């Protein structure tokens, strides 16, 4: 593997770039499944990715579960942003009541990215398409959801 300097045009040869790694992990009693991940340059971008997924999943939560999620989306996320901006990790856990044992864990943490040779910054690598679909989290949830009783 060859490392490429981050900015050779400006005389800098540092191959390190501070950033943030965000993930959504579906945890069940049987296994953990990575639903999606995102590499962000800023704390805001990492948190935006988490907020989009949480907003999307909000529709499958019960009314009782929706209230704290809405509160976090409308303002509680600002504390999370401050934590990330201060280079401290952030975690948000959703535990749907109608699906005992199931847990969606959203995390974002500061990381240092290495610039790799051969990566075209204008195009994502082919493996990025594996987790790029916004419905991946909802699909993963539905795969592990027990059937709803009739009339629900």
The three-state DSSP-derived secondary structure of 105-145 is EEEEEEEEEECECCCCCCCCCHHHHHHCCCCHHHHHHHHHC
Say how many domains are in the chain.
1
Would you say residue 142 lies in a domain? no
Please report the pLDDT score of residue 128 as a whole number: 61
Would you say residue 120 lies in a domain? no
Would you say residue 148 lies in a domain? no
Would you say residue 118 lies in a domain? no
Domain limits at 57? 17-112
Would you say residue 75 lies in a domain? yes
Would you say residue 135 lies in a domain? no
Tokens standing for 16? 């390190």
Q: What percent of the chain has pLDDT over 70?
A: 67
Would you say residue 129 lies in a domain? no
Would you say residue 124 lies in a domain? no
Distance CA 152, CA 130 (A): 33
Please report the pLDDT score of residue 127 as a whole number: 63
- pLDDT at 145 > cutoff 90: no
pLDDT one-digit tens code per residue, 19-70: 999 999 998 888 888 888 999 999 999 999 999 999 888 877 777 788 888 8
């Amino acid at each position: 593997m060859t490392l490429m300097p981050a900015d050779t045009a400006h005389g800098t040869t540092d191959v390190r770039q501070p950033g943030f790694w965000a993930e959504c992990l579906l945890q069940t009693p049987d296994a953990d499944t990575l639903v999606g991940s995102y590499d962000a340059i800023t704390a805001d971008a990492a948190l935006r990715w988490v907020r989009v997924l949480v907003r999307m999943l909000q529709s499958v939560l019960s009314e009782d579960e929706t209230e704290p999620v809405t509160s976090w989306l409308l303002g509680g996320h600002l504390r999370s942003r401050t934590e990330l901006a201060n280079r401290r990790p952030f975690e948000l856990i959703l535990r749907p009541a109608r699906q005992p044992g199931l847990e969606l864990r959203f995390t974002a943490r500061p990381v240092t990215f290495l610039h790799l040779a051969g990566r075209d910054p204008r195009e994502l690598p082919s493996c990025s398409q594996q987790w790029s679909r916004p419905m991946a989290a909802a699909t993963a949830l539905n795969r592990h959801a027990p059937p709803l009783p009739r009339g629900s």
